[in-house]
């Protein structure tokens, strides 16, 4: 559809400006996704001509978005091609995360450099939206200050452990935070008073985005990301693009019903996947208090590693239920890759075999034979990294809008 | 991504040809999706200029793909705008369907006119691939012959009740046909000997495509289509595009595990959704033979309509299991619309209330409040119509490739 839309714009007389914008986007996105590239590599990757690359990079250099430097000789004959890199500190985003047991903030530069990151643990008690926003402001104060300078801040991305409407950051439900129908987007905007867009999404959706851009799922177009933190969150990449659903609520894998005679879930339903495969289920089976948080989880995993029978059985049974749900999702979605995050990434070494058995028993062979299951690689900061990617998206889609100096091109088409 | 790709093509010197092709595609797709339109409406819908529309339509008329006619005055002042319609008999596709209890073939003209359709019932016995292909050739013989004339046949689309690899029409598994690992694409190509592309897909995926293009889901971008025939098939539309998954196996909703202590499924697993919500489950609960096919189903639905207690209970219990699975899929996918096909469309009036109750109990309120559940509108020919849409896709994406007369534009970029 984008294709047609672009073509229509072209046809009504904004041809060269639209092409220029799309080409700038292609260059900045390549550099953002892959890191510094030589001009020759950019020619190869974008399909643009050498002279077009030169001109567009000139614009980006003038605007301070990229820098060029002579490369060292690569050993091949001929003049070395200059290396182009993003000026990561000149365009930065704030990434924020509201997790059940911590708050975090990071300053991330264009290209994905994490310039500063602060994470503050907090108790798993239900705190009000107002209190949480205030606590987030306190976390922000602890970040190194340069992101406030000049106009370098281009956007804010926020991950939250809840079900979020993408259009305005309204949180419909965050059972593990104790929130229902809270206007996080509006309140955060009023509290931060920074004149840049705020984009808010579910933290597992952002974990999926992060693993797809920078982690275990780079290069995979159909990805199922599933992470257990307190609940089970998930994010789907379909044909290379995040699945959001009709309003941004997609990917609530934890609330797939798996046991009609199961336990009550925080969402109000019975026998959701997270009641059988989530953190509390593991703690319960291992005979640990289910409200013990990370310390108890660490203890169970230590016991399992040392072969304590109840802990081993608890981990395996939890792995079976993980596999039970995964099998259904494999049949529905035919992913090429499953990325296990949070607790699931940690138990992966213990449960790889029972996962394979569950998929063998329940997933269709055609889909099962295609899918690989791997642990996430970005660790617990994945949602924060995903939040930064969300905040960069408008710049990546149209860097021309961020160029500060007027160019020789007419700017009528700006929007 | 398409956007970038197009832009890259533009940048390397094929600007006007690429724009022309995209504009031809926009016009033909509008006419195909919406039916005859005046030139003025085409101007509005495509964003192209009046003169661009005139030129491109001239090309399409010369090639015999569209016809123009004076419209009757619409009552508004000014010269009436000519009406543009597709010349549907000049570009046709063959649509074929291999269903469990019937074979069907249709000739469909550009724009979606079904020019001829033959459906032949067959027993639900497992017939070999070779026998099925031979029977399909016999069905084809009964179609009105004009589709064989000239070069008007542009493609073949095939729907099959199995799990199909999109790239080559290899059927990995079709439990209700008794097939495993059969090269349907290759065998059909060799048997038909028609020099046009053959595209093969799962029949429920095609049902979803058809309902999205021409049925209950027109205008909805996030759609869950679920149809019970012998098994349960499904198709997903995500952000306006069919979800195929990594290899085309996506949408196998019938094999979502719902009952760990359930019955054996034809796929080899235990307690798949179709063992609880499918046709056989309804027949079993109603006390009818489960291998009775449509006649027994009709009998159960008649009994339920007349209030016979066992039939009513059987329909309601089947509806509960339908709702149980739908609730999970609503949480995972956040669809805006659920379209019920086949048996589910027929029982919808009986079970609308229990479906709402199950969603109330198990689906997250945010997603549940957004979703509407409606019966399919295209009836049992939906997969056949979807097969025709699949076969038209290459022409819709690039009609220039089908223009028979050379134009004034250079054709170097043809591929």
CATH number of the domain within which A109 lies: 3.30.420.40
CATH for A75: 1.10.10.10
Cβ contact A216:A377 at 8 Å: yes
Specify which residues A153 forms β-bridges with.
A92
Question: Which residue in chain B has the smallest CA separation from A11?
Answer: B48
What is the extent of the structural domain holding B59? 2-86
Residues A344, A253 share a domain: yes
What integer pLDDT is reported at residue A291 of this predicted model? 83
Minimum-distance CB partner of B2 among A3, A52, A327: A3
pLDDT tier at B405, thresholds 50, 70, 90:
very low
Measured between beta carbons, the chain A residues lying within 8 angstroms of B333 are: 243, 245, 250
Beta strands in A146-191 (DSSP E): 153-160, 163-165, 170-174, 179-182
Compute the nearest-CA separation of B216 from chain A (Å).
17
Q: Cα dihedral angle (A385, A388, A389, A390), rounded to 10 degrees?
A: 120
Q: Is residue B283 part of a domain?
A: yes
Burial class of residue B366 in the structure, from the number of CB atoms within 10 Å of its CB (0-12 exposed, 13-18 middle, 19+ buried): buried
Minimum-distance CB partner of B173 among A249, A257, A366: A366
Give pLDDT tens digits for B313-352. Answer: 999 999 999 999 999 999 999 999 999 999 999 999 999 9
DSSP B177-218: TTEEEE-HHHHHHHHH--SS-EEEEEHHHHHHHHHHHHSTTT
**CB within 8 Å: A22 and B7:** yes
**CB within 8 Å: A370 and B222:** no
What integer pLDDT is reported at residue B14 of this predicted model? 41
Residue predicted with more confidence, B6 or B331: B331
Q: Is residue A401 part of a domain?
A: no
What integer pLDDT is reported at residue B48 of this predicted model? 87
Q: Is residue A243 part of a domain?
A: yes
Q: Is residue B409 part of a domain?
A: no
Domain final residue, candidates B86, B103, B135: B86
Cβ contact B239:A241 at 8 Å: yes
Q: Is residue A403 part of a domain?
A: no
Residues B370, B222 share a domain: yes
Give pLDDT tens digits for A270-301. Answer: 999 999 999 999 999 999 999 878 899 999 99
Q: Is residue A136 over pLDDT 50?
A: yes
Read off φ and ψ for residue A101, nearest 5 degrees. Answer: -115, 15
Measured between beta carbons, the chain A residues lying within 8 angstroms of B245 are: 222, 333-336, 367
Sequence-ordered alpha helix ranges (H) in A119-202: 129-141, 184-192
**CB within 8 Å: B12 and A47:** yes
Tell me the average pLDDT of chain A: 89
**What gap in Å lies between CA B328 and CA B265, rounded to an integer?**
20
Q: Is residue B415 over pLDDT 70?
A: no
Measured between beta carbons, the chain B residues lying within 8 angstroms of A171 are: none
Q: Is residue A275 part of a domain?
A: yes
**CB within 8 Å: B331 and A255:** yes
Q: Is residue A4 over pLDDT 60?
A: no
**What gap in Å lies between CA A406 and CA A400, rounded to an integer?**
10
What integer pLDDT is reported at residue A406 of this predicted model? 38
Q: Is residue A211 part of a domain?
A: no
What integer pLDDT is reported at residue B1 of this predicted model? 34
Measured between beta carbons, the chain A residues lying within 8 angstroms of B367 are: 163, 245-247, 249, 252
Domain final residue, candidates B58, B86, B114: B86
Give pLDDT tens digits for B217-274. Answer: 999 999 999 999 888 999 999 999 999 999 999 999 999 999 999 999 988 999 999 9
Residues B351, B388 share a domain: no
pLDDT tier at A147, thresholds 50, 70, 90:
confident
What integer pLDDT is reported at residue B75 of this predicted model? 58
**CB within 8 Å: A19 and B25:** no
Describe the crossing of helices B293-305 and B343-362 by its angle, rounded to 10 degrees.
60
Tell me the average pLDDT of chain B: 89
Residues B369, B256 share a domain: yes
Judged by average pLDDT, the poorest of B11-20, B115-124, B204-213, B274-283 is B11-20
Residues A370, A249 share a domain: yes
pLDDT tier at A77, thresholds 50, 70, 90:
low
**CB within 8 Å: B365 and A172:** yes
What integer pLDDT is reported at residue A404 of this predicted model? 55
**CB within 8 Å: B332 and A15:** no
Residues B126, B230 share a domain: no
Question: Which residue in chain A has the smallest CA separation from B50?
Answer: A12
Across the range B7-34, mean pLDDT stands at 73
% of chain B surpassing 90 pLDDT: 75
What integer pLDDT is reported at residue A48 of this predicted model? 87
Q: Is residue B43 part of a domain?
A: yes
Give pLDDT tens digits for B191-223. Answer: 999 989 999 999 999 999 999 999 999 999 999
Residues B168, B98 share a domain: yes
Residues B225, B193 share a domain: no
Residue that has been written with the tokens 């205030």 in this structure: A134
Q: Is residue A15 over pLDDT 80?
A: no
Q: According to the 3-state scheme, what is the secondary structure of B34-101?
A: HCCEEHHHHHHHHCCCHHHHHHHHHHHHHCCCEEEECCCCCCCCCCCCCEEEECHHHCEEEEEEECCC
Residues B56, B125 share a domain: no
Residues A367, A227 share a domain: yes
Domain final residue, candidates A34, A65, A87: A87
Q: Which of A299, A328, A335, A326 is nearest to A314 (CA)?
A: A299
Give pLDDT tens digits for A359-402. Answer: 999 999 999 999 999 999 999 899 999 999 999 999 999 998 87
Q: Please give the tally of structural domains in chain B.
A: 3
Compute the nearest-CA separation of A150 from chain B (Å).
31
**CB within 8 Å: B48 and A12:** yes
Residues A346, A234 share a domain: yes
Residues B107, B8 share a domain: no
Residue predicted with more confidence, A195 or B160: B160
């Amino acid at each position: 559809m984008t294709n047609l839309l672009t073509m229509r714009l072209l046809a009504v007389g904004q041809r060269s400006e639209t092409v220029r914008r799309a080409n700038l986007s292609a260059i900045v996105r390549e550099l953002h996704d892959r890191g510094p590239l030589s001009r020759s590599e950019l020619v190869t990757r974008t399909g643009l001509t050498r002279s077009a690359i030169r001109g567009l990079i000139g614009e980006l250099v003038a605007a301070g978005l990229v820098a060029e430097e002579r490369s060292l000789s690569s050993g091949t004959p001929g003049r070395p091609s200059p290396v182009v890199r993003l000026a990561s500190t000149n365009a930065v985003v704030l990434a924020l995360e509201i997790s059940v047991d911590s708050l975090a903030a990071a300053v991330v530069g264009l290209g994905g450099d994490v310039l500063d990151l602060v994470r503050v643990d907090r108790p798993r008690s239900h705190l009000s939206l107002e209190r949480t926003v205030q606590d987030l402001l306190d976390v922000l104060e602890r970040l190194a200050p340069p992101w406030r300078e000049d106009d370098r801040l281009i956007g804010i991305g926020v991950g939250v452990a809840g079900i979020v409407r993408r259009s305005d950051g309204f949180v419909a439900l965050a059972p593990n935070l104790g929130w229902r129908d809270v206007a996080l987007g509006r309140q955060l905007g009023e509290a931060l008073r920074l004149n840049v867009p705020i984009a808010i999404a579910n933290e597992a959706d952002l974990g999926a985005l992060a693993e797809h851009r920078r982690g275990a799922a780079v290069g995979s177009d159909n990805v199922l990301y599933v992470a257990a933190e307190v609940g089970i969150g998930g994010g789907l990449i379909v044909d290379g693009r995040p699945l959001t659903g009709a309003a941004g609520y997609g990917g609530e894998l934890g609330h797939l019903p798996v046991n009609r005679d199961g336990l009550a879930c925080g969402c109000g339903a019975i026998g959701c996947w997270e009641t059988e495969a989530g953190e509390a289920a593991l703690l319960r089976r291992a005979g640990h208090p289910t409200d013990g948080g990370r310390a108890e989880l660490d203890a169970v995993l230590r016991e399992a590693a040392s072969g304590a029978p109840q802990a081993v059985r608890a981990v395996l049974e939890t792995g079976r239920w993980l596999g039970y749900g995964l099998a259904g999702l494999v049949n529905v979605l035919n992913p090429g890759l499953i990325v296990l995050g949070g607790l699931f990434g940690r138990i992966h070494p213990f449960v790889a075999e029972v996962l394979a058995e569950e998929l063998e028993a329940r997933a269709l062979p055609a889909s099962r034979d295609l899918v690989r299951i791997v642990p996430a690689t970005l660790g617990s900061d994945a949602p924060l990294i995903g939040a930064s990617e969300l905040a960069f998206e408008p710049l990546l889609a149209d860097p021309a809008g961020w160029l500060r100096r007027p160019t020789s091109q007419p700017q009528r088409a700006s929007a």
